[in-house]
Every structure is written in C-alpha cells, then in structure tokens.
Amino acid sequence: MKNLINKYKHGWVLSYFIIYMVWFSYLERTVTKNYHVIHIKLDDMIPFNEWFLIPYLLWFLYILATVSYFFLTSRGDFYKLTAFLFIGMTICLIIYTIWPNGQDLRPNLDALGRDNILIRIIRILYGTDTATNVCPSIHVFNSIGASIAIIKSDKLKKYRWVSVGSVILTVLISMSTVFLKQHSVFDVFMGILLSFVMYLVVYVLIAGKQTSKAKEKEIFAKV
C-alpha cells in the first residue's frame, strides 16, 4: 500500500478540481444578468445541428481518459498536462469573474419542427447549463490541451492513429460548441488563443528550462 501511494502521490494535483467546481458553481449561480453578451456575425451563419451533441458529450470522456492515462503512465507528461489545463482553467475563471459574459444564441427547440432523442437531451443540457461563463471556451481549451499532451507524448508517438484521432476529435468538439449554440465563434477563437499562450508557457518555457537543467546535471555528473 505504501509503495502504491508513493507511486501515485502526484495525484494530489487533481484536488484542483474541488477549487474549480466551487468557483465555477458560484459563477453559474451569480452571473445571471448584467453580463456582456458574446455574439458576432459569423454565429448567425452557423445552423443549429443536434448531431454535434455526440462529440460535445465525448469531451467529458476524452478529458477524463487523457488525464487518467498520463496519471497512470507518465508523471512528467501528467504534470505538463495538468499545468496546461489547470492554469488555463483558472485564467478562464478569473476572466468570467472580472468580465461576466454569456451568449444569446440558443434556439427555441420547440420551434425547430423536429424532435428526436438528441434534441431531448439538448433540452436537458440547456436546462442545467447556463448560457453564461462562455468566453474563452473551456471545452475548446481543454480539448486542445489534451491533444497537445497526446501528440507530445514519447510513448504515444509510435501510435500515429492516436494522435490523428485526438486532433479529429478536438476539431469536432470545438465545432460542436458552435453548432449546438453553446458558444459563440468568438469563444472558440479565444479558447484557441489561450491554448497557444499556455503551450508556450508549459511546453516551451517551463519544459525548456527543465531540459536545460537536466543537461547541466548530466554534464556536471560526467566531470
């Protein structure tokens, strides 16, 4: 048991989810009016399509599976992934807090002229998930973060289909946010921009410094 605890002690990082859920839940309850509405012309050109509910819901499994995989297989990759996700998610929460935002894109599902199981589930989604706290899109940001971690993984590089699949799923998830009218295209762009910044911070700046220190230690060890 002691060896098992020591092997997976890096799991303490996951306690961040408690902070995130408390903070996000608070914003969901309090940001109900007097928020900035995110809406650009491109949003009106994108039709509602209930079939995108499938990749939208796959996001939950995608993030869970990616975090779990690296938690169990690579402590280094796990730390990079969670640093990317958790720092970025915190930035999103700070933005939501100091700049309350939301969207007005959701259609009247009763007026669509069709009904199916997907639309019924979306009706439940609309009822439980507010149309606020949307920019940047955490759905988009986390999907890109998971895809980057998979692509950068030395262990997964020999499985090219995994990397290709993760990119395809990330694109579909990002598309789903606008086709389900859960986000404005602007939210997606901001999610992508935040991902780019976090990539530079985690995989270029921080990882670069760690690599340099490791090389220095290796050189000194040979002297």
**What confidence score (pLDDT) does residue 177 get?**
98
CA dist., res. 141 & res. 165, Å (int): 17
Structure tokens of 177?
């946010």
Q: Do the beta carbons of residue 17 and residue 86 sit within 8 Å?
A: no
**What confidence score (pLDDT) does residue 206 get?**
84
Residue 114, SS3 per DSSP: coil
185: number of Cβ within 10 Å: 20
Angle at 184 between CA 121 and CA 186, to 5 degrees: 150
**What confidence score (pLDDT) does residue 38 get?**
97
Q: Note the residue count of the chain.
A: 223
Structure tokens of 2?
């002691």
User: How many Cα atoms occupy the beta-carbon half-sphere of 39 within 13 Å?
Assistant: 12
**What confidence score (pLDDT) does residue 136 get?**
98
**What confidence score (pLDDT) does residue 143 get?**
98
**What confidence score (pLDDT) does residue 163 get?**
96
**What confidence score (pLDDT) does residue 124 get?**
97
Q: Do the beta carbons of residue 125 and residue 50 sit within 8 Å?
A: no
- Low-confidence spans in the chain with pLDDT less than 50: 216, 218-223
Exposed e or buried b for every residue in 152-173, given b needs 16+ CB within 10 A?
Answer: bbeebeeeeebbeebbebbebb
Residue 113 makes CB contacts below 8 A (sequence gap 6+) with none
**What confidence score (pLDDT) does residue 9 get?**
79
Residue 101, SS3 per DSSP: strand
What pTM was estimated for this model as a whole?
A: 0.90
Angle at 123 between CA 131 and CA 171, to 5 degrees: 65
Q: Which of 165, 160, 150 is nearest to 73 (CA)?
A: 150
